[in-house]
């Protein structure tokens, strides 16, 4: 193929969807260890939740019809006949003209069909004054209303977050079948890159901050990260180390050496790792134009720019899309908030610009302050909470314009 044929952002996302195949290997793991894994099968509810009628408030179980028409000026009167203990079955059923105290989550006694909130009642030594009417089923969760036995609880392909784990725990499910979590390998390249443990730098050297930031993103998104270290500017060594690491992981990330300089042979090495090979070399984007994306034997390979800000932005955009696709999740770019920009942001038509922004709230409105700076400036990352996309067809955005912001996660 001819390298450095620039793709648009939309074309790049489409190619990722076409080229990256999800991992299909499944494993069974304890529920306690299942956070961020993706379900490999449908799961049905084994029990009704709740399996008894439950109050959603502190109040009094009543027959709803006996409250119809009551108001603060014309209250109703019922006899209070005890209270429900949490975790216990009510000692008696409710008869006409009676009410029973029930706490939030408590079981309703037989004969009742609604709960009046405690603040709408007054206990006068066993005679309950009711100042508000309730409808049948009000302040009550019915049997199976939350989860119904035999119905699909979670579908295959669901990513297990804390709330999904809680739903499974409520059913007594202690083990799940999931897709194996991808292992992501990382190599930094460049004669100037040294380990972060280096106590003192020689002139021209920089510590490997990309290995730290990309690794933190990978782990923060719920994937397994394997740091492969630093490789010097030697094509033979780079190719050997890349092949060795790729054999151990499901996706390889390489940072540095992705542009068109005399020593930037990353694209040729990445192409040599396996078929079908490089499908993106160059994206009409700023920062991060010399991005490389490849597939080597169904394993994605990502060539990131060496500049820290460029690497982070590209990895947020395309790296996350690749990892989620590899994990069996359809990637959807999430515009997590909208904010008004505080300054004009110019842009050149024909490329998509991503500008780092600082978010702040003023007068109950979110504002996005652009953090301008060159792609190699680490400080621009530290100061920013997200980025604004300026579409390729746009010449920029005006101060005060409401724009979508992609939050750094």
Query: What pLDDT shows up at residue 260?
Result: 47
What string of H, E and C letters represents the secondary structure of 257-323? Answer: CCCCCCCCCHHHHHHHCCCEEEEEECECEECCCCCEEEEECCEEEEEECCCHHHHHHHHHHHHHHHH
Contact of 188 with 231, CB cutoff 8 Å: yes
> For residue 379, is pLDDT > 90?
no
**Which superfamily is assigned to 337-407 in CATH?**
MoeA, C-terminal, domain IV (2.40.340.10)
Query: What pLDDT shows up at residue 259?
Result: 47
CATH for 54-141 (2.60.120.1440, 2.170.190.11, 2.40.110.10, 3.40.50.720):
2.170.190.11
Q: Where in the chain is the domain with CATH 2.170.190.11?
A: 54-141
> How many CB atoms within 10 Å of residue 347?
18
> For residue 132, is pLDDT > 60?
yes
Q: Indicate the CATH number for domain 26-49+145-179.
A: 3.90.105.10
Binned at pLDDT 50, 70 and 90, residue 332 comes out as low
Q: Where in the chain is the domain with CATH 3.40.980.10?
A: 9-23+182-326
- CATH architecture, range 9-23+182-326: 3-Layer(aba) Sandwich (3.40)
Contact of 54 with 61, CB cutoff 8 Å: no
164-200 pLDDT, tens digit per residue, is 999 999 999 999 999 999 999 999 988 888 888 988 9
CA distance 266 to 255: 9
> For residue 1, is pLDDT > 80?
no
What average pLDDT does the structure give for the chain? Answer: 90
| Joined tokens for residue 291 | 């991005």
Q: What is the pTM of this model?
A: 0.78
Q: Where in the chain is the domain with CATH 2.40.340.10?
A: 337-407
């Amino acid at each position: 193929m001819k390298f450095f044929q620039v793709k648009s952002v939309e074309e790049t996302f489409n190619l990722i969807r076409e080229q990256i195949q999800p991992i299909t290997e499944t494993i069974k793991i304890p529920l306690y260890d299942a956070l961020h894994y993706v379900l490999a099968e449908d799961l049905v509810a084994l029990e009704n939740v709740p399996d008894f009628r439950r109050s959603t408030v502190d109040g009094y179980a009543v027959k709803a019809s006996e409250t119809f028409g009551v108001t603060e000026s014309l209250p109703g009167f019922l006899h209070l006949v005890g209270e429900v203990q949490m975790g216990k079955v009510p000692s008696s059923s409710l008869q006409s003209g009676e009410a029973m105290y029930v706490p939030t989550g408590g079981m309703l006694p037989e004969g009742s069909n609604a709960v009046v909130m405690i603040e709408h009642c007054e206990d006068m030594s066993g005679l309950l004054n009711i100042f508000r009417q309730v409808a049948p089923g009000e302040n009550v969760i019915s049997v199976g209303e939350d989860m119904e036995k035999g119905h699909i609880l979670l579908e295959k392909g669901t990513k297990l977050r804390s709330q999904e784990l809680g739903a499974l725990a409520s059913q007594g499910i202690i083990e799940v079948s999931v897709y194996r979590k991808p292992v992501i390998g990382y190599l930094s390249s460049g004669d100037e890159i040294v380990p972060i443990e280096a106590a003192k730098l020689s002139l021209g050297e920089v510590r490997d901050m990309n290995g730290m930031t990309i690794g933190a993103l990978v782990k923060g998104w719920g994937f397994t990260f394997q740091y492969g270290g630093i490789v010097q500017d030697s094509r033979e060594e780079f190719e050997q180390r890349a092949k060795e690491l790729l054999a151990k992981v499901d996706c390889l990330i390489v940072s540095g050496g992705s542009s068109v300089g005399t020593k930037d042979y990353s694209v040729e090495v990445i192409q040599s790792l396996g078929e079908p090979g490089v499908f993106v070399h160059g994206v009409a984007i700023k920062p991060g134009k010399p991005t490389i994306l490849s597939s080597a034997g169904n394993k994605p390979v990502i060539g990131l720019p060496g500049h820290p800000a460029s690497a982070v932005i590209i990895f947020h955009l395309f790296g996350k899309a690749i990892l989620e696709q590899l994990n069996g999740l359809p990637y959807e770019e999430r515009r997590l908030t909208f904010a008004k920009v505080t300054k004009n942001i110019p842009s050149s038509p024909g490329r998509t610009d991503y500008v780092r922004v600082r978010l702040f709230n003023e007068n109950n409105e979110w504002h996005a302050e652009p953090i301008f700076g060159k792609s190699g400036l680490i400080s621009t990352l530290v100061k920013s909470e997200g980025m604004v996309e300026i579409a390729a067809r746009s010449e920029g955005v005006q101060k005060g314009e409401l724009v979508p912001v992609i939050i750094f996660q």
